[in-house]
Structure 1
Amino acid sequence: MTQVISIINLKGGVGKTTITVAVAEFLAVEHQKRVLVIDLDPQTNSTVALIGEEEWAKRNQNSQTLHALFKDHIDDTYTFEMEKSIVRKASNLRGGLENLHVLPSSLDFVKIQDRLINIWQTALIRPYDVLKNAVKSHLDDYDYVLIDCPPNLGIVTQNGLNISHWYLIPTIPDHLSTYGIPQIISSVKNFNRKKEGGEVKLLGVVASLYRSSVNRHNNTLDRLAAKVQSGELPRLFETRVPLASKAADATYYDVNGINTLKQKYGNSTENLYGSFQSLTEELLTYVQI
């Protein structure tokens, strides 16, 4: 059974996209899984990291992004085609990975954010059902679907949650980044009341951009661990993704000649490669197809 995981945090800059892209690549390469990344974030970082700016610009111009899907439902037009919009052989590893695909986002999402609530008036469907209706016949083609959600809990994020079995919260282990976790959990619980086909469950919290030498990071992790013990959180992942200079390089698509994950994420003292390898293996123990 396909497992769909939304990656969410209300705060930007917490490593959400880096984790999405890395886990997708590790699932595809080291575990030979069929993976689809759905980029719902208007910043389009996952998209550009997996297909590059040039390919994204071409597809954006040809209405082959999720912006076109939502805009069609607002304007009662028919420009978006799912088959043509899924990018196959994504990633700059080995010139593209056969089993890693991406459904691109668009910067133009920002232009229609305020109009999304009007979808039900033109399309006669619930605003949070748009993505579900579009992808439902394609999900069985994949083992894992990872959804990079925008840093809010609006209609676009709800579309991701509506097709998800799980949601994952990456966070820098500090006060500001973890502050919104209770709000995320509460909002998802409320959304589950109207979700059909089973609730979306919290998979856990992943510490990212972690620095072992910073006391506030370790103190925050202790507090999160206490919440797990009290039952407020289901899980704090044992893997901690370090703050590493290599992380920014790894999301830069226009680097040629990368054939291995170790080339892409290794060669640094922070052991980013080992962290993502461990994180992916840990995720697989909790979410099995």
Structure 2
Amino acid sequence: MSADETASRHYAIVARAIAFIRSHAGGQPSLEEIAAAVHLSPAHLQRVFAAWAGISPKRFLQYLTKEYARQQLADSANLLDVTLDAGLGSPSRLHELMVSCEAMTPGEIKAAARGIDIGHGIAPTPFGDALVAWTARGVCHFAFGTGDEASLLAELRSLWPAATLQRDDAQAQRWMERIFPAVPTRGRVHLVLRGTNFQVKVWEALIRIEPGRILSYGQLARELGMPRAPRAVGSALAANTIGYLIPCHRVIRERGEVGDYRWGSARKLAMLGREAARHGERASASPAPTGAA
């Protein structure tokens, strides 16, 4: 079993654990109770979390509390400006994935990508199997599986009805290895964005957000110079079809709730927890009580 397949299998366990914790938040479930809910021994669950997130289950769950989320939001003043000043090569990152992007022209959008060849394939990731699609210019679609494979492919076809689609799972696997390297390394991924000017502006701002950091819909709207438009910002996030690389999972509600996510709220929590574990230790000198977000 490859490293990606192992991470994907471990994610399935983590997702079930998160779902159990969220549904039993008031009871502050113990490691033994969580392990029993996912049909593992406590020691086995401990090993899975350590392999997948790099920390213990208890520490991982501390990153999923509302208390931790609210503290992070309080620390996020002028976050976009700070991140932009630091540049995308911030030395605090363990994985120097440099994401750049370009928007399709109105003419290209109107033509619905007529004449464009789009490669696509499904491969494992640390957050479950995902469909990635690309053109000669870069990644144009990234969607996590939430049902059967047919629905993933149908969505891709509906978004690019005039394009020529070519299945290539081997190339998709290579894309995943660039996006989720087993060993932290420098890499670059270029995105091809299709959306309105406003949507593209929101997505470009999100790309500048450093892993391990979060902000609210209102904070993002204010940073974009549109303080009265958090709902419009939320709509732009909902329209994003390039998951993870355009990190809409890093935007949560003002009061610390995780909020909705196109590919499932449990997956969003898993992403936030894993990123916090890998990048956010510097901001967690005072751990919050274990519990659910």
What TM-score results when the alignment is normalised by the length of structure 1?
0.26
| TM-score scaled by length of structure 2 | 0.26
